[in-house]
Amino acid sequence: MTIDRILVVGAGQMGSGIAQVAAQTGLTVWLQDVAEEYVQRGLARIRDNLDRQVEKGRMSADERDSILGRIRPITRLEDGRDVPLVIEAVTENLAVKKEIFKILDRLCPPETILASNTSSLPITEMAAATNRPGQMIGMHFMNPVPVMKLVEIIRGLATRDDVFQTVEELAKRMGKVPVEVRDFPGFVSNRVLLPMINEAVYCVYEGVATPEAVDTVMKLGMNHPMGPLQLADFIGLDTCLAILEVLYEGFGDPKYRPCPLLRQYVQAGWLGRKSGRGFYRYDG
């Protein structure tokens, strides 16, 4: 099956990035969120990204306009139902995602593939909420989507081989490098990354060092392009906490216990870059 159009559910950081890259690949994209203002915010983010490409001379204004013309903003899932592939990118919450897949299973044609951009949640459990577990798959893009090359493609227990191949082929067309991963908590990327971020938060919590010091050690000492706390702010501290909870519960291993300071920042609404404050301040 060749994918020529997709529905992206959730127009946040990731959903808007996925929609942009898909439209740049020539696909028609329906971009859905629960309220008009959220869809418009996602579209504005895409427009800003493309405008920057035009300013740098990497894209013509005509190209930008035709990419934007391929993105259809919607608030009702029904309006984007007739597609061969849906990519869900809503908040990292299993109950919310399962409910969305249940609705999509009812709305979409029988052959439609359902993909989740989840960072850590079980694809197999989302699949069980539908009547098409063989057509459920994980398509885990990295942030920012237009820049990062990797897509982890996660096979649920029942994912069909032809579905895997279709999604793998699309990831390549989108200019990405797909890597096959099996469905266990955190997959590979976040199972390795989040314990490092959590340990960095513990260093601040225990007064070992300031956030700036922790990040400088990792940048200059380990050659990381971004320190772990700067990266956590970029990912979103709520998303980081949610992933750690999945690792902690999924493996039942105390080594994944989220740092109380991370929990407290999330309670305070200090979610990182997207809320203006996390381990660093972004409010000017």
Instruction: Map residue 130 onto helix, strand or coil.
Output: coil
**Which of 116, 117, 190, 275 is flagged as catalytic?**
190
Catalytic: 120? no
Q: Which stretch binds ligand NAD (CB under 6 A): 5-13, 53-61, 177-185, 222-230?
A: 5-13
Work out how close the CB of 96 gets to ligand NAD at its nearest, in angstroms, rounded to a whole number.
5
- The reply on whether position 12 binds ligand NAD by CB under 6 A is yes
CA dist 103 and 116 (Å) reads 14
- The reply on whether position 138 binds ligand NAD by CB under 6 A is no
Catalytic: 152? yes
Q: Hey, how many other C-beta atoms are within 10 angstroms of the C-beta on 4? A: 12
Q: In the complex with ligand NAD, which residue's Cβ is closer, 74 or 209?
A: 74
- The reply on whether position 104 binds ligand NAD by CB under 6 A is no
CA dist 238 and 270 (Å) reads 9
CA distances from 275 to 91, 249, 265, 266, 280 (A): 15, 27, 11, 10, 11
- The reply on whether position 181 binds ligand NAD by CB under 6 A is no
- The reply on whether position 239 binds ligand NAD by CB under 6 A is yes
- Torsion angle (degrees, nearest 10) of CA 55, 61, 67, 71: 90
Q: In the complex with ligand NAD, which residue's Cβ is closer, 162 or 249?
A: 249
DSSP β-ladder status, 71-74 and 28-32: parallel
Q: Which residues sit at the interface with ligand NAD, rule CB under 6 A?
A: 9-15, 32-34, 38, 89-92, 96, 100, 117-119, 140-143, 235-236, 239
- Catalytic center residues: 119, 140, 152, 190
